[in-house]
Amino acid sequence: MSFTLAHLSDPHLGPMPPARIAELLGKRAIGYANWKRRRHAIHRRDVLAQILTDIHTQRPDHIAVTGDFVNVALPAEFTQACAWLEGVGSPQDVSLVPGNHDAYARAARGQFALSWADYMRGDGETEVRFPYLRRRGPLALIGLTTAVPSAPFMATGRIGHTQLAALDELLTRIQSEQLCRVVLIHHPLRSARGRWSARLTDAAALIDILTRHGVDLVLHGHDHRHATVWFESQRGRFASIGVPSASASLGGHHQPAAYQLISVERADNGQWSITRRVRGFGGNDGIVELKSEQLR
């Protein structure tokens, strides 16, 4: 029987709530001004609502969201994101990882873990720990966080030695289980050209672990664009796939909103069969199927 995972990313929820002057210090002031000047026209709540309606119409078995729920990590933004998540689904049916905007300022450090804990808590865990492991159908959903505060005009992410070591141990522990290993992460394993200031700084160490153990799929966001990069591992090659922002409007230089449906089932040869369907805005036609491909 096929199991379908819907993946969307970077909702960048608007409208931006009012902010006190004391909250707009340092990098937040730059991000807030940028939202008011430009980004509010790109990330639209009505576009996001249409994407979410289409996802629910497709009736996936589970939904994954790979970060950047908020914009400058104001306290009121986290409250707004909690309300939106309730409309996405229950914590049992939705898994998420945070993005760099969810840790935009040092004052907000750890706020996402408090606000969205139920959506990031691993099976049997009482606290939020990364990486987390959630077993859903044939999937082992492995959530990583790359969300760390960065300097103004930077959007880098980092996993860190502690999380990398825990990931190494986790993949060793589940090696013998008959599970399709799907990694959820915000930053891509390899950044697009010109995205040095938005890269994952310890990507090489992460790639080493993933290729040494072997996983079946990596899903990410961050770059707000369609992207597929292939890697070779001990268990065969796997794809790292990104999608545009789920709230991105039509027009401009950015790619419009889209999401993907990942269907997984056991093939006759005992291997995982993975099919990917991409749905999103196709000009004046509204949300349509943009692409369908067999990944394995």
- DSSP H helices, the chain, are 27-34, 40-42, 45-58, 75-88, 111-115, 117-120, 161-173, 203-213
Cα–Cα distance for residue pair 170/261, rounded to 1 Å:
26
Residue 283 has pLDDT above 80, yes or no: no
Contact in structure between 11 and 70 (CB atoms under 8 Å): no
Rounded to two decimals, what is the model's pTM?
A: 0.97
Look-up of token digits 């914590």: 91
Q: What is the pLDDT of residue 118?
A: 97
Encoded tokens for 125: 């865990």
CA-closest candidate to residue 130, choices 95, 90, 104? 95
The helices-and-strands tally (H runs, E runs) of the chain is 8, 12
Q: How confident is the model at residue 240 (pLDDT cuts 50, 70, 90)?
A: very high
pLDDT at 1: 80
Q: pLDDT digit string (tens) for 33-56?
A: 999 999 999 999 999 999 999 999
pLDDT(282) > 90: no
| Token reading at 235 | 């268990």
How many alpha carbons fall within 13 Å on the CB side of residue 13?
22
Three-state secondary-structure class, residue 218: strand
| Residue 255 dihedral angles phi and psi, to the nearest 5° | -80, 135
